[in-house]
Structure 1
Amino acid sequence: MKYVIAPDSFKGSITSIEAAKAISRAVRETDGQAEVVELPMADGGEGTVDAVLLSRGGDKITRQVEDPLGRVIEASYGWMEEEKTAVIETAAASGLPLLKTEELNPYEASSYGTGQLLRDALEKGAETIILGLGGSATVDAGVGLFQALGLKVYGENDREISRVGGRLDRITKVDATGLEPKLKQVNIIVASDVTNPLLGRDGAVAIFGPQKGISAQHLETFEAGMASFAKVTAEAVKHNVAEEPGSGAAGGIGFLLQSLLKVEFRSGLELMVELSRLEEHLVGADVVFTGEGKVDGQSLFGKVPVGVARAARMKGVPTVAFAGMIGDGLDRLQAEGLTVVIPIVDQPMALKEAMAEGERLLYTAATRAMQLIRLDKREIGRETK
């Protein structure tokens, strides 16, 4: 039998690569004759670079950059030399995983480090840059990112501001004349499943601000600053994209990308399905295994298990999803091709313990699933005799 293994990460527990290997081990140990294809997935957030490189080949380039708080760290991006393509995650240099809970500081957090990675890719000769927007610790609307690429912003008395962070209300003028010229020569594909606008109740601050450390009593302050900056930027570039889908992605990075450059927004999941050649690998497959930390009705909106199941359904291949947690709405997922969802937690345990044991729990659940599949094959064989 042929098995395609295409899970997302179980966030906070195991990466998509670790998840694929755990499932693969269970499959091979249960069925010594199995043909196994490992295709770790991602949606533009953390893990996108590793997933792309595993599927397509390439190198990981590591550079010293600034983290969200300006500390020097090492961060990596993917590089495919033959295609002159770089794959960059905002999470690598500007992500929430880089900060402890007590370090979250939306006033100071900057996306400058992501801009440094972009600059390095441009200097390396990138002709295409895939930029995954997800998991950022910032609400700086991408100001830091573009400052690393030559943008200048000014405040009171026309004094240049070197580090803005989330204090966007300080900005009174935006000057993009010094932007790196190579930005106009490169094809930039933005991988993101976030379609939120920049402002309002569905915007970058209201929806994503709290997870980045904005307290309830300060949401209005940050929203006002974001609105002020959007107006200043619109006056500078002669158009306003604050209401465009995706402008609220990654703390507003999507807004400045659309304001200053010609970029193509793609669903992170759809792009990953394309880059991994998932549909090609589904030919001749008997079962697809996928999964992520939580599977419920919301998985219909750009989540990996449903995206994989939809592709498999088109090829007539059943899909099994593993989940750390199962919510409501599973009946709607079956219509999309998700045959069954299997919880990996097999006994009462605290969330912290379950996350620490994620790889083992997933392996055990995949082993049980394989035993059921082999039992079904034996029963079918008896019925046909």
Structure 2
Amino acid sequence: MKNDFVIVLAPDSFKESMSAKEVCIAMEKGIKKVDASIKCIHVPMADGGEGTMQSLIDATNGEIYDLEVTGPLGNKINANYGILGDGEVGVLEMASASGIHLVPLDKRNLLVTTTYGTGELIKACLDKGVKKLLIGIGGSATNDGGAGVIQALGGKLLDKEGNELGFGGGELDKLHTIDLTNFDFRLKDVVVEVACDVNNPLCGENGASHVFGLQKGATLEMVSILDRNLRHYADIIKEQLRKDILDIPGAGAAGGLGAGLMIFLNGTLKTGIEMVIEYTSLEEKIKDADMVWTGEGSIDFQTQYGKTPLGVAKIAKKYNKPVVAFAGKIGDDIDILYEKGIDSIFGIMKEVTSIDEALKHGKKNIEKTAENVIRLIRLI
């Protein structure tokens, strides 16, 4: 091992155990225990889901702000958004304001849940003067096509009598007029990128309501109503705004929020890992490194479908850098990952234990495994 050896540490979080930043710190501790001369470059990662905002903030030395917003059921809740280190890019996760985890099981009703709070987070970012918005839309509790976002940003969705629609996907069949007279003008000068890892259209058997509705507590009857209402919503948009959103891939993401962000905010859909790779400047950091380490809580055959370790590995392989992955759990059929760029996968568990104990001791286990990997590398 040469004297100026450099390792890029680019893991995802280990859910319920460690943030991506904490994983980086634990990895470096193990490395330095063996060889203090090794340079470690921390690049906390995420794949567009939970933890994406935190990873981007950590990687850019940005700041997170708390805000009281309207929750999925119309009640006031605390949510947050971030501003990246350059002060020009706002980042938020719709789940923070409109997520399924915010709605108790016995109150999950897609006919009434709203994305209004997500719109309030967007407005808060605009108030900070951002030039770009990064929005993660996983984990939604909604099926309103982004109607709540539009309302929170000053747009009016009116029925035949000129009354504002209420919250939820159950109201969209009443939509008669879209009035954007007072829609937040600042959005015209802001680039919006949306982390979206599904290609579902807005409506139909592969659409938002049919594919995701039951998972969010809808009955079969509700699913039919919601799908019909979203189709009406799309028809009104096409008629009045001259934009056809019905069959665009990704429009059905997050209960149709994908459609709302594309139509009303001119949002561009990107895979979550692509977005994080870009804004953490991962590729630039990998170019001159000697090795890349990544990982997440569980690695198995599904890791090949847009998950962090494989996204990191693809960039590393462009520059012929060896890739080591760490996982709390190693699942089945991982051989495909070796073919796609990961060179070695290490489980961090040192003994049979309960899940609670495994989560509790994650940092120690990462540190010890990192130490052992470096000891092995030094023998080569």
With normalisation by structure 1, the TM-score equals: 0.87
In 2, Cα distance between equivalents of 1:56 and 1:189: 18
Match of 2:187 among 180, 183, 187: 183
- The answer to whether 1:333 aligns with 2:334 is no
For residues 24 and 214 of structure 2, what CA distance do their matches in structure 1 show? 32
Matched residue, 2:14: 10
Specify whether residues 365 and 87 from structure 1 end up closer, same or farther in structure 2 by C-alpha distance, changes over 3 A only.
closer
Q: How far is 1:41 from its partner?
A: 0.8
What residue is the counterpart of 2:361 in the other structure? 360
User: What's the CA shift for 1:274?
Assistant: 1.6
- List aligned pairs for 1:361-380, cutoff 5 A: 361=362, 363-365=364-366, 367-378=368-379, 380=380
How is 1:1-385 mapped onto 2 (pairs within 5 angstroms)? 1-80=5-84, 82-155=86-159, 157-216=161-220, 218-348=222-352, 353-354=354-355, 357-358=358-359, 360-361=361-362, 363-365=364-366, 367-378=368-379, 380=380
Q: List runs of 5+ in structure 1 lacking aligned partners.
A: 381-385
Higher alpha-carbon deviation: 4-13 or 45-54: 4-13
Q: What CA distance in whole angstroms lies between the structure 2 residues aligned with 1:77 and 1:165?
A: 25
Conserved? CA contact 1:39–1:278, under 8 Å: yes
Identical aligned residues as a percent:
36
Deviates more, 1:26-35 or 1:187-196: 26-35
Instruction: State the alpha-carbon separation in 1 of the partners of residues 77 and 33 from structure 2.
Output: 40
- What displacement does 1:157 show? 4.2
Deviation at residue 100 of structure 1 after TM alignment? 4.0
Distance in 2 (CA, whole Å) between partners of 1:81 and 1:56 is: 5
**Contact 1:342/1:365 (CA < 8 Å) preserved in 2?**
no
Question: What is the CA distance between 1:128 and its match in structure 2?
Answer: 1.6
Query: What is the deviation of 1:144?
Result: 0.5
Query: What is the deviation of 1:143?
Result: 0.5
CA contact (8 A) 1:138 1:166 kept: no
Tell me: CA distance 1:255–1:320, structure 2 relative to 1, closer, same or farther (3 Å). Answer: same
Secondary structure class of the residue paired with 2:257: helix
Q: 1:375 to 1:43 in 2, by over 3 A?
A: closer
Deviations 1:179-228 (A, max 9, x none): 11111122222232332221233322233323322245543332222222
| Partners of 2:31 and 2:370 within 8 A in 1 | no
SS at match of 1:302: coil
Note if contact 2:6-2:38 (Cα within 8 Å) is conserved in structure 1: yes
Residue aligned with 1:190, SS: strand
Aligned-partner residue type, residue 94 of structure 1: S
Show structure 2 runs of 5+ residues with no match. Answer: none
CA contact (8 A) 2:143 2:168 kept: no
Q: Which moved more, 1:3-12 or 1:211-220?
A: 211-220
Q: CA deviation at 1:174?
A: 2.8
2:71 aligned partner, one-letter code: D
Deviation at 1:357, TM superposition (A): 3.3
Provide the secondary structure at the position in 2 that maps to 1:65. Answer: strand
1:359 is displaced (CA, Å) by 5.3
**How many residues are paired up?**
376
**Alignment-mate amino acid for residue 25 of structure 2:** K
* Separation in 2, partners of 1:229, 1:256: 10
> Residues 201, 31 of structure 1: CA spacing in aligned structure 2 closer, same or farther, 3 A cutoff?
farther
Q: Which 10-residue stretch deviates more, 130-139 or 299-308?
A: 130-139
CA distance 1:40–1:96, shift in 2 (3 Å): farther
Q: 1:301 to 1:166 in 2, by over 3 A?
A: farther
Which deviates the most, 3-12 or 107-116? 3-12
CA shift, 1:292, in A, is 2.2
What is the alpha-carbon distance in structure 2 between the residues aligned to residue 226 and residue 46 of structure 1? 26
Q: Which amino acid aligns with 2:91?
A: V
Contact 2:209-2:255 within 8 A present in 1 as well: yes
One-letter code of the match for 1:78?
A: G
Q: How much does 1:167 deviate?
A: 4.4
